Structure 1
Amino acid sequence: MRKPPLLLLTGLALLLLAIAPCRAETPAKTGALPAPDPDNGGITLPPGFRAVVFADNLVVGKDVGALRFLAVAPNGDVYAKTKQGPILALRDTNGDGRADVVKEFGGGGGSGIMFHDGWLYHSTDKDVYRYKYTPGELVPSAAPEHLIVDLPNQRQHESKAFFFDDAGALFVETGSPSNSYGGANDRRFGAKGSDATDFLKIHGGFWRFDPAKPGQHQSDGYHYSTGHRHVVAVAWNPVAHSAFFAMNGRDNLHDVDPEHYSIADGAELPAEEFHQLKEGLNIGWPYTYYDGLQKARMVSPEFGGDGRKRAEAGRYPDPLIAFPAHWAPLQMAYYDGAQFPAKYRGGIFLAFHGSWNRAPLPQRGYNVCFIPFDAAGRPTGDYEIFADGFAGSTNFTSTRDARFRPCGVAVGPDGSLYVGDTEKGRIWRIFYTGDTAPVAAVAAAQPAAATPATPAVAVNTKGRDTYLMLCASCHMPDGSGVPNLQPSLRDSAVVRGGAATLIRSILLGPAAVLPADRPKYSNVMPGFDAALNDAQAADLATYLRQAFGGGAPAVTREQVKAGRSPR
């Protein structure tokens, strides 16, 4: 028999390779666990646990914002939200523990995502949608249903966390776009609070909705709880028949009231509070905060507190657990799997994004904790750090120096735990092997490249003092900013550009001056027109240029006066 020509064989091989991905785009059958990465993908885990990098670089070089929450389908497909972009659908087709198919669908950004009762639900910063889930279908073919419309979205604490109770009701949280309701000086020296009754009617609580009814507004929901600052970490415990949540505590105690709160107080207070959600619950924001060191609920300085004045006894509940300050609890997952040892079953895993506002002290958090519950579904009151090493260092003051920042956490159908990072878009799959052999050492994070020395310049000390009082809590003392919260001022085009734009940005706030299509950040900078006189504003602008503007010319009070004129 005559042999086929080599060119024909090559052509057939190429054809088979071209169609192979189409045939292989089905999830791998569950079975043996994958081979772990030698260093567990750069993180540390308890003995017997290993990890593999399921996906990497999902947000690097893409205009989608940070990677947010995760959900895992019944067949093991993983879904990840992006802060400003689409949903990412990931599939492992060959069982090696790594996603080899990544597709995008949907849009609108946001954080919340989960599977429930045959649907994939997700939330933007103002809406809730759901897709009908068809088993085996990676990207939903059906159009989404728009369930909840136009929730408050004021670009601070805007993420919409949600969960379902065991009766099928949908609960959605609306955060408070404020630090502690401190008025025009919120987060800054001298902030003064006022009656928040009307504000809390539409912010700072959970609302209950019918998940099968499209087109609902907030007014269609039942106001279930109040007194939250912002909650994104929440999970239903089916044993307790109740939800539990962790609240992001307030910031800037020292900045608001340096007379009564030291720099250390600002870094170590207040606690991140862990509570059981009950109908009518009021946990006291903005009037109070929980001091985890004194183990007491305290009156906020905006409302007359001084670090010693305690809240009215019995009016607001103490947390079940007081986590360290500024760790930033994000996604939470109830462990209903059977793969992990018995101590983990029925407990909750909680991802902490890590602090950004402890400078000049080192930042802390950047881990995944495990919260044990007893047989009756009650938290024991303890917690342990389960996964760590994400930051790559324990001695840094800027979040930009952290290697990874945990955010999403979800449990797979085989009992594996998936953890996602916001900044570089890495997702780990963590599983239990029982093997306690030593794990390869995690490479130490490389220090940031040294900044070239610059000639010494005279510093406008009055402007520096104003910057430290009004601006440093958000932009950081060194001007490095905080990813997603406030931009870096170092070599900023606004700082080193025309004086008129810088002056008006300080006086009126960037939103009133800069183009509408500029990059947006969660902490909205207010205008300081009423807070600063011409000389103070000129000193501040001059200091910004001296410290971060590459030697741009000083700003005079006459220029500030002209900048106040209507245009």
Structure 2
Amino acid sequence: MLRAAALIAALVAGATVPAARAADPGPTVPAGFTIERIASLPGPRELAVTPNGDLLVGTSGASVAIVRDAQGNAQPPRAFASFDDRPVAGVALHGDTLFAGGQFGVYRLPYRAGEAAAGAAPEKIASVRTSGQSRDHTTTTVAFSEGVLYASVGSSCNACSPELDATRATIQAMRPDGSAMHPRAVDIRNAIALAVNGENGDLWAGVAGRDELDPGHPYEIFDDVSSHPGTPDYGWLTCYDGGKPIGGASCANVVVPRVVFPAYETPIAAAFYPLHPAGRFAFPQRYRGGAFVALHGSWHRPLVAPRVAFVPFRGSEPATHVDWNDPNAQWSEFLGGCQRPDESRVCRPSGVAVGADGSLFVSDDGAGAIYRIRPSTR
């Protein structure tokens, strides 16, 4: 059997984990919480918690990893399944099926609680980026709700028309076997942060907007895709900030999002906290029913710092309505400390998930880490 180090190396061939500076305190969380690094591996991305407390981890390589007993005595990561595709960043677990998103395909494979490695090879059930060209946004994220599998496919560029193929800049919906695939949302540049609200099954999407507009625009968005009938248009290329036109375009039918973040924050993953958590590490009441959104930060100068934001909800709606004059009004920083004064980085959150025991898990593809966050009073 391969040693753990060899298995981790197989997850992302050639990837390296940057060394921390001696004085780095690491990520910070609010008073009353503790944060613990429970795993190290290259390129961790989206997360899915299994019923028995293991953690499945999409990666920037060709494998999905597993951290056994992530809610208890976390074990070193190992490869769970390998794919002839990369990156395999998206993971979603539904019952006895694991869905995964690769660059060119959506896959499924059987899952049995407690297994340390997949018992069968992945089956490709749908094709995305059908042009076959690897350009710009290459990550496919997946989510499952009420019998429908969703896959987000980012654009091939910042602003271009026509696209390389019809799956680009969309959220695709399909049956669990991959059949009847069709666009659920269009003109949505990179809806990489897919999340299902477990209270009502609504699909939300965090979207990284385009560049080269007015400084500080467009705002990044987080929106309830399920609330829009038909195939909603999110306005990429022609409209931004809830209906501002580009080049005289009509924005009458473009979606007005429910949550905004400042430009270049780059929402990359999201998870809703249960309204009625039953685990021993349940978060305080003010966090229940709200959304944690991993913001990956920017490459623009000055660099926007990575962080995990918290958006409080009241029922199925954000507790605070969008303020188009203040993109900071609806959220607060939950995990911070990711960027030093010289703009070098300690962490870059890339995935977020909630365990059955109430723990919040955050992956960090900058430091090659997975963190577990819990109330410190429990």
Shift of 1:298: 2.4
Shift of 1:394: 4.1
| 147-156 vs 338-347, which moves further | 147-156
Q: Does 1:224 align with 2:184?
A: yes
> Per residue, is there more strand in 1 or in 2?
2
- List aligned pairs for 1:218-367, cutoff 5 A: 220-253=180-213, 261=214, 265=215, 268-277=216-225, 278=228, 279-290=230-241, 297-300=243-246, 304=247, 312=250, 314-336=252-274, 337-338=277-278, 339-357=282-300, 359=301, 362-367=302-307
In structure 2, the CA distance between the partners of 1:132 and 1:298, relative to structure 1 (3 Å rule), is same
Write the deviation string for residues 68-91 of structure 1: whole angstroms up to 9, x where unpaired.
212111111112222123221112
Matched residues, number? 336
Aligned match of 1:173: 152
In structure 2, the CA distance between the partners of 1:95 and 1:230, relative to structure 1 (3 Å rule), is closer
SS at match of 1:225: strand
**In structure 2, distance between residues paired with 1:93 and 1:389:** 23
In structure 2, the CA distance between the partners of 1:93 and 1:212, relative to structure 1 (3 Å rule), is closer
SS at match of 1:170: strand
In structure 2, the CA distance between the partners of 1:410 and 1:385, relative to structure 1 (3 Å rule), is same
Aligned match of 1:129: 107
> Per residue, is there more helix in 1 or in 2?
1
Aligned match of 2:311: 371
**In structure 1, distance between residues paired with 2:115 and 2:363:** 22
- List aligned pairs for 1:532-547, cutoff 5 A: none
Q: Which amino acid aligns with 2:114?
A: G
Aligned match of 2:354: 411
SS at match of 1:138: coil
Shift of 1:101: 5.4
* Structure 2 length-normalised TM: 0.81
In structure 2, the CA distance between the partners of 1:412 and 1:319, relative to structure 1 (3 Å rule), is same
**In structure 2, distance between residues paired with 1:200 and 1:372:** 37
Q: Which amino acid aligns with 1:164?
A: F
**In structure 2, distance between residues paired with 1:77 and 1:322:** 32
SS at match of 2:317: coil
Q: Does 1:387 align with 2:367?
A: no
Which 5+ residue runs of structure 1 have no aligned equivalent? 1-20, 22-38, 60-65, 182-193, 254-260, 291-295, 306-310, 436-567
Aligned match of 1:45: 29
In structure 2, the CA distance between the partners of 1:326 and 1:102, relative to structure 1 (3 Å rule), is same
* Structure 1 length-normalised TM: 0.55
Q: Which amino acid aligns with 1:250?
A: R
SS at match of 2:37: strand
SS at match of 2:186: coil
Shift of 1:424: 2.6
Aligned partners of 1:40 and 1:52 also within 8 Å: no
**In structure 2, distance between residues paired with 1:245 and 1:369:** 14
Shift of 1:331: 1.1
In structure 2, the CA distance between the partners of 1:78 and 1:373, relative to structure 1 (3 Å rule), is same
Shift of 1:270: 1.5
**In structure 1, distance between residues paired with 2:25 and 2:54:** 20
Which 5+ residue runs of structure 2 have no aligned equivalent? 5-22, 321-329
Aligned match of 2:144: 164
Shift of 1:235: 1.0
Aligned partners of 1:111 and 1:123 also within 8 Å: yes
Q: Does 1:102 align with 2:82?
A: no
Q: Which amino acid aligns with 2:270?
A: M
Q: Which amino acid aligns with 2:167?
A: I
Aligned match of 2:167: 202
In structure 2, the CA distance between the partners of 1:147 and 1:41, relative to structure 1 (3 Å rule), is farther
**In structure 1, distance between residues paired with 2:356 and 2:164:** 41
**In structure 2, distance between residues paired with 1:87 and 1:371:** 29
Aligned partners of 2:238 and 2:251 also within 8 Å: no
SS at match of 1:343: helix
The percent identity for this pair of structures is 31
In structure 2, the CA distance between the partners of 1:385 and 1:94, relative to structure 1 (3 Å rule), is closer
In structure 2, the CA distance between the partners of 1:40 and 1:428, relative to structure 1 (3 Å rule), is farther
Shift of 1:163: 1.3
Write the deviation string for residues 210-248 of structure 1: whole angstroms up to 9, x where unpaired.
1135xx5xxx41222211111110111243442111110
**In structure 1, distance between residues paired with 2:212 and 2:24:** 36
**In structure 2, distance between residues paired with 1:42 and 1:395:** 15
**In structure 1, distance between residues paired with 2:127 and 2:260:** 34
Match of 1:88 among 59, 62, 65: 65
In structure 2, the CA distance between the partners of 1:199 and 1:82, relative to structure 1 (3 Å rule), is closer
SS at match of 2:286: helix
In structure 2, the CA distance between the partners of 1:70 and 1:40, relative to structure 1 (3 Å rule), is farther
Q: Which amino acid aligns with 1:47?
A: A
Aligned match of 2:134: 154
In structure 2, the CA distance between the partners of 1:251 and 1:132, relative to structure 1 (3 Å rule), is same
Structure 1 vs Structure 2 CA RMSD: 2.6
Shift of 1:380: 1.9
Shift of 1:351: 0.4
Write the deviation string for residues 338-394 of structure 1: whole angstroms up to 9, x where unpaired.
41112222211110111112x2xx21131001112212x112232111111122x14
